[in-house]
Structure 1
Amino acid sequence: MGKIISIINNKGGVGKTSSTGILAELLAFTGCRVLCVDLDQQSNLSMLFNCYVKDPVPVLNWRERPEEENITELFRYRYRSREEIEPLIKPTFVKNLYMIPSSKRHQKTPDQIIAEKLSNNNTILKKSLATIRDGYDYILIDNAPASDILTVNSIFASDYVLTPVRIDGFSYKGLEETLDTITYIKDEHDVDSVSFLGTFVTQAERNTVLYRDLKESYTDELGGKFFQTSIRKDIRVSEIETIFKPILDYAPNTNAVYDYTRLILEMNILPEDKKKVLAYAIGEREDM
């Protein structure tokens, strides 16, 4: 059964989408089947993997059904069968990597869910993904910087929550809010299936005093839930967010690829044979 990991921080600008995309690419590189779910209404992950389809005005106004369904229809019609979900899944040009994309019409999804006033609004995504998760080794969910019904659905559906942060107080506050939401869901709804995998620093400038001081503080507060691998500030990451091109195709030897590879190894979510593939790729075969 595939592991489902939500990448969440209520603060924007911390690298959720780029982290989701690069982690997905690296997991697919090892031979794992990976599914990305774009839960963010901005649809940047869908654009990154060329799965974005622009909505015409009649579709945005719900006067016409779209030619290609996406995450919007999963929530709107509460799909719960493999036959309903599989048409939403699009292959990407990255081997072993697939996508349930988003688009602009997804912006109306939270209001539409709330307006229905049904009792099972929190588990729409969980019930849908349950029908297909056996077909994938990993399912990564990219979330908007918001604490809304979509984020709650993402947490309910997941085995793990992973939170990127920057070295600043705003993104750490987003981390605290994410942890509070997980705790509330687990306690209030008696949910034991989701746990906090950990947090890591993005856009790190490792030689600064601020980075060293705050990293020490994060380690003291979070212990083993704060990953020691940080993602260095790398212009190549900004470039792929502009040209919408996967990083292993655009800049496979950049610092970010090495750092995210080390992060996956530190997270210890891969079986041994797949860990060796990544370790060998960055020249650390002897360490495995």
Structure 2
Amino acid sequence: MGRIIAVANQKGGVGKTTTTINLSAYLAELGQKVLTIDIDPQGNTTSGLGLDKNTIENTVYELILGQCDINDCMQNSIMDGLKVIASNVDLSAAEIELIGISEKEYIMKKAVDKVKDDFDYILIDCPPSLNMLTVNAMTTADTVLVPIQCEYYALEGLSQLIRTINLVKNRLNSDLEIEGVVFTMYDARTNLSLQVVENVKANLKQAIYKTIIPRNIRLAEAPSHGLPINLYDAKSAGAESYRLLAEEVIHRGEEDDEWR
């Protein structure tokens, strides 16, 4: 049975989509069967994995409205072993269209339950807000992976997200856990990045991944070419970091004493 991981943070610009794209690609490269679901109406994960979000007929939007089956939505990506359920701007209307629908918090879960045994990992890229789409991701997921940027207000946004995760856990998905926190956009030249990492570690009673994602120009360039970093520049510092993160995700739980 596949592990279902929602990648979430209500703050934009923290490396959430970059993490979803590159973690998915490296999990596939390491031999895992991966399904990536883009539930952000911006559709950046879709295009970052080499798909044209504007020409795909069956997207998350059609899936949520019951207009297609989940198997009809799956697209092959540019990586072997990695399938994608795409998103585009149509999805921004979904929340309004779901008004009055019973059990609307579980629409994604019911769809994903049909295929979760076919994959080792299912990653869900959430929008940068705590809306019904994010709630659907959290009712579907086993765990939430939280990328946080190494910046001054990182901890403030994180505590709000953790409250939301706990609320979903208490009301809608009792099995939901926090997968871990991933630091992104780390700049070794600044004291601030180091202070943020130390501050979060000191204040947060959550699992924190050892791998820290650096601020890296090649990582920033890759999506404009519709490529994950392992296909764009496999020798870059960003590529090496996401490869290590993928290995950490796979081996999570094997070294409990070193975790945190």
With the length of structure 2 as denominator, give the TM-score of the two structures: 0.91
What amino acid maps onto 2:247 in structure 1?
A: L
1:71 aligns with 2:49: no
**Which residue of 67, 72, 88 corresponds with 2:73?**
88
| Aligned-pair CA distance for 1:30 | 1.1
Q: Match of 2:32?
A: 32
Q: Match of 1:2?
A: 2
Q: Match of 1:233?
A: 215
Matches of 1:37 and 1:72, distance apart in 2? 11
1:205-224 alignment, distance < 5 Å: 205-223=187-205
**Which residue of 70, 73, 92 corresponds with 1:107?**
92
| Aligned-pair CA distance for 1:209 | 1.5
Question: Relative to structure 1, is the Cα distance of residues 201 and 209 closer, same or farther in structure 2, using a 3 angstrom cutoff?
Answer: same
Q: Secondary structure at the match of 1:233?
A: coil
What amino acid maps onto 1:87 in structure 2?
A: D
Matches of 1:247 and 1:52, distance apart in 2? 18
What amino acid maps onto 2:165 in structure 1?
A: I
What amino acid maps onto 1:140 in structure 2?
A: L
Matches of 2:9 and 2:20, distance apart in 1? 12
- Contact 1:126–1:156 (Cα < 8 Å) also in 2: yes
What amino acid maps onto 2:164 in structure 1?
A: T
Question: Relative to structure 1, is the Cα distance of residues 142 and 48 closer, same or farther in structure 2, using a 3 angstrom cutoff?
Answer: same
Q: Match of 1:140?
A: 123
Which structure has more helix as a fraction of its residues? Answer: 1
- Contact 2:181–2:206 (Cα < 8 Å) also in 1: no
- Contact 1:11–1:171 (Cα < 8 Å) also in 2: no
| Aligned-pair CA distance for 1:176 | 1.7
Where does structure 1 differ by over 6 angstroms across 4 or more consecutive aligned residues? none
Question: Relative to structure 1, is the Cα distance of residues 152 and 75 closer, same or farther in structure 2, using a 3 angstrom cutoff?
Answer: same
**Which residue of 140, 149, 157 corresponds with 1:166?**
149
**Which residue of 121, 134, 146 corresponds with 1:151?**
134
Q: Match of 2:257?
A: none
Matches of 1:111 and 1:196, distance apart in 2? 29
Can you list the C-alpha shifts for 1:231-263, whole angstroms capped at 9, x where unaligned?
Answer: 011100110122222211110111112112222
Question: Relative to structure 1, is the Cα distance of residues 266 and 246 closer, same or farther in structure 2, using a 3 angstrom cutoff?
Answer: closer
Matches of 1:25 and 1:13, distance apart in 2? 20
Pairs aligned (count):
254
**Which residue of 181, 184, 188 corresponds with 1:202?**
184
Matches of 1:268 and 1:134, distance apart in 2? 17
Mark the runs of 5 or more structure 2 residues left unpaired by the alignment. Answer: 255-260
Per mean C-alpha deviation after superposition, the further-off stretch among 161-170 and 194-203 is 161-170
Matches of 1:214 and 1:267, distance apart in 2? 23
Question: Relative to structure 1, is the Cα distance of residues 269 and 257 closer, same or farther in structure 2, using a 3 angstrom cutoff?
Answer: same
Q: Secondary structure at the match of 1:225?
A: coil
| Aligned-pair CA distance for 1:98 | 0.4
Matches of 1:42 and 1:25, distance apart in 2? 20
- Contact 1:78–1:124 (Cα < 8 Å) also in 2: no
Mark the runs of 5 or more structure 1 residues left unpaired by the alignment. Answer: 56-66, 273-288
Q: Secondary structure at the match of 1:54?
A: coil
Per mean C-alpha deviation after superposition, the further-off stretch among 195-204 and 224-233 is 224-233
RMSD of aligned alpha carbons: 1.9
1:97 aligns with 2:97: no
Q: Match of 2:258?
A: none
Matches of 2:126 and 2:221, distance apart in 1? 21
Matches of 2:251 and 2:21, distance apart in 1? 17
Matches of 2:250 and 2:35, distance apart in 1? 19
Q: Secondary structure at the match of 2:40?
A: coil
Matches of 2:143 and 2:188, distance apart in 1? 27
What amino acid maps onto 1:54 in structure 2?
A: N
- Contact 1:218–1:226 (Cα < 8 Å) also in 2: no
With the length of structure 1 as denominator, give the TM-score of the two structures: 0.83
- Contact 1:9–1:163 (Cα < 8 Å) also in 2: yes
- Contact 1:11–1:170 (Cα < 8 Å) also in 2: no
Matches of 2:149 and 2:162, distance apart in 1? 16
